[in-house]
A and B are shown apart, each in its own frame.
Chain A
Amino acid sequence: MMFGQLTTSVVRMKWTGVNPFTLLLVACCGAICAQAGDLHIVITDGKQNGMGDVVVIATPLGAGAALPKPSAAPATMDQRNLEFVPHVLVVRTGTLVSFPNHDVVRHQVYSFSPAKAFQLPLYAGKIYPPLLFDKAGIVTIGCNIHDSMVGFIFVTDSPWFARSSAAGVADIAQLPAGEYAIELWHPRQSDPLARLRGKALVDASGVTSAQFTLPSLRAAPNNNPSKKWAY
């Protein structure tokens, strides 16, 4: 890419699931060529409202794209007010995840997802060793005592991932320059196994911006604060 050049590309993307749809990717590449760049992604619904809890995975394309070693930084899936916090957690394969219980009641966290089946009885205020998530996939977690609790741990082989904020913004920093496959996933998309796939060309040094529009999701729970009355 030429020095100082501003590139805009429009990429056509499809769900790998049943419902194909069109998405717009606008990439504005940075000004100075170097070894690494940042990816700034904005995810909106059809009415331009930001969408939170979207998992964004960037995987380098090309045979020579070597992935950095897994990060050793552990992650946390908390339990507060009869909810999993965060609702969606993204970790790299090989990450240790701890499950502290900050409620006054006990929980029994489990998953029967193929990527990580486990059972973890958690008493309030007690510390338990973290669990290793060593296989890529979507791990749906629940509580065997409180059936309304549901959370997701998205385990990916890629070191470049993010979860969008409530405003719909996902930032991935320091990607080596090059072409990337982009995958998007949301727990309430109509086909729970589908991925929205596309490509993005990360320009060296600077910020590559992209905007994604997701199709409508299934209805969300109320996040009902009166759950506390369940005590």
Chain B
Amino acid sequence: MGVLTRQGALLLALCALDSVMRVGLTHELSGVVDLRAVTSDGQQSFLDGGLGKLRFDEQHDGLRFGQISLFYRHDLAETLKLNIDAITYADGDSNAVDLTEAWLEWRPWPRSALRSKLKLGAFYAPISLENRLTGWRSPYTLSWSAINTWVGEEIRTAGLQYDLDWLGTKHGSGFDLGLTLGVFGWNDPAGVLIAARGWAMHDRQTVLFGRIGDLGAAPVNGRTLFEEIDHRPGYYVGANAHYLDRAELRALHYDNRGDRVSYSARIDDLAWETKFDAVGLVLTPTDHFTLIAQWLRGVTYIDPFIVFEWEFESTFLLASYERGAHRVSLRRDWFSMEQTAGVPPWNHDSGSGWTLAYLFELDSRWSLVGEAMQIDSTLTARAAIGAPLRERGRTLQVALRYLFKTP
């Protein structure tokens, strides 16, 4: 992000700190401490300069630091709320603690079945149906689907989102409907990661002022992803429908309107023109059972001297069963990325993944999560580093999580 946004974020953080000092009824501070026991046979992780698709590769066996997150909420007024989510992964990123999202939400009281909402700041576009908890956490698995992993890596909108909802369930109907329009900047490098590395599956969000791994770079010292390069705003439009609490359907079209010839010397990158369509469906056919399906297909371009083009697509299905303190989830992912223009050798990525997770809530604060994941992929860019093109990366992780909340 630019210097102005850095200062703005610092100001927001200082405001937050000041507010925390005066904790009252309208302040909520919560967070998660997440420690892991990990065993993995994956290739060198993309976070450590390799082209492996896992966060923890075979060099990471043992006890690992999952994350510490802090979520701060403050009611500036009855209908105006400040939200700041900070995180540390302690893995060598630019800042020891950084922000994943920071936004103001204005949600006026409904005076009729139509309600408007406005968000201003840096936040996620409404794509993921997995990451439903505070701080963009998932209640289902430790590692997210390929689609939502990529959203967490490359997609963040610094700008404005307007929602218009029709509150049908308050109007004698079983349906609630909504429309979303977002206008944003600082997402011009989006696409660089999917073009170079293809898809991945993990739980590491890229922080607003940090970096992500790159080929040959020191751990988490690669690309900057949130930067305004072409001074041209992007947009997304979306729609959603809920039927009682039994079904939710979402669709979104995203286009960062990147000017593919614009170059930033500061981050040594071009503006990537990235656009995609995303559709998601959640079904809750019975009290304890949830099914989620998401699909995303897009394309990204740069034009340094000739046009480069990459097409990408992914789908996942997730089934989750919950009973009391227990939850079991199984997910199947499919993904592909195909370079279709540019200088050879053209990059190609295809594969699939299985994820099985079990969550046990010991009490309202402590929980244990066990996850077995396997991701099979063929990525032709691995030839450049002499790594096998095919990877079967497997991880077993057990996370001990502590959730805290004030007051």
Contacts and interface: CB of A to CB of B under 8 A. Distances in A.
Contacts of B133: 229-231
Nearest to B244: A221
Given A219-B174, A224-B284, 4 more contacts: A108-B78, A222-B286, A223-B287, A229-B133
Interface stretch (A118-126, A154-162, A195-203): A118-126
A126 B25 contact: yes
A226 interface: yes
A219 B244 contact: yes
Given A140-B170, A222-B246, A223-B287, A229 B322 contact: yes
B290 interface: yes
Given A221-B244, A225-B288, A229-B322, A110 B109 contact: yes
Interface stretch (A3-11, A35-43, A144-152): A144-152
Contacts of A221: 244-246
A192 interface: yes
A141 B246 CA distance: 20
Contacts of A104: 405
A104 to B, nearest CB: 8
B167 A142 contact: yes
A117 interface: yes
Interface residues of B, number: 35
A221 B246 CA distance: 7
Nearest to A104: B405
Interface in A70-112: 104, 108, 110-112
27 contacts: A112-B110, A117-B111, A126-B25, A141-B170, A142-B110, A142-B169, A142-B170, A144-B79, A144-B107, A145-B107, A147-B169, A147-B176, A148-B242, A150-B169, A220-B244, A221-B245, A222-B245, A222-B287, A224-B245, A224-B284, A224-B287, A226-B287, A226-B290, A226-B322, A229-B132, A230-B132, A231-B134
Contacts of B107: 144-145
A226 B132 CA distance: 12
Contacts of A141: 170
Contacts of A218: 174
B171 interface: yes
Q: List 10 A-B pairs, minimum CB-CB distance, nearest first.
A: A192-B172, A221-B244, A229-B139, A119-B109, A226-B322, A221-B245, A142-B170, A140-B170, A222-B287, A150-B169
B10 interface: no
Provide the main secondary structure of the chain B interface.
Answer: loop
A121 B112 contact: no
Q: Which of under 10, 10 to 19, 20 to 34, or 35 or more describes the interface residues of A?
A: 20 to 34
A193 interface: yes
Contacts of B78: 108, 119, 121
Interface of A: 104, 108, 110-112, 117, 119, 121, 123, 126, 140-142, 144-145, 147-148, 150, 192-193, 218-227, 229-231
B284 A222 contact: yes
Contacts of A145: 107
B244 A222 contact: yes
B154 interface: no
Interface in B281-326: 284, 286-288, 290, 322
A111 B171 CA distance: 10
A219 B171 contact: no
B113 A112 contact: yes
Contacts of A230: 132-133
B170 A112 contact: yes
Nearest to B111: A112
Contacts of A226: 284, 287-288, 290, 322, 327
A219 to B, nearest CB: 6
Contacts of A220: 244
Nearest to B112: A112
B269 interface: no
Given A222-B286, A224-B245, A226-B322, A144 B170 contact: no
B110 A144 contact: yes
Contacts of A223: 287
A227 B78 CA distance: 24
Nearest to A113: B170
Nearest to B171: A140
A90 to B, nearest CB: 18
Nearest to A141: B170
A123 B25 contact: yes
B165 interface: yes
A221 B242 CA distance: 11
A147 B165 contact: yes
Interface in B95-134: 107, 109-113, 115, 132-134
A222 B283 CA distance: 11
Contacts of B139: 229
A142 B242 CA distance: 15
A117 B322 CA distance: 37
Contacts of A231: 133-134
Given A147-B167, A192-B172, A229-B322, A110 B110 contact: yes
Contacts of B167: 142, 147
A148 B282 CA distance: 14
A132 B385 CA distance: 73
Interface in B126-165: 132-134, 139, 165
A150 B79 CA distance: 19
Most buried by B among A119, A121, A229: A229
A219 B244 CA distance: 8
B246 A219 contact: yes
A139 to B, nearest CB: 10
B28 to A, nearest CB: 8
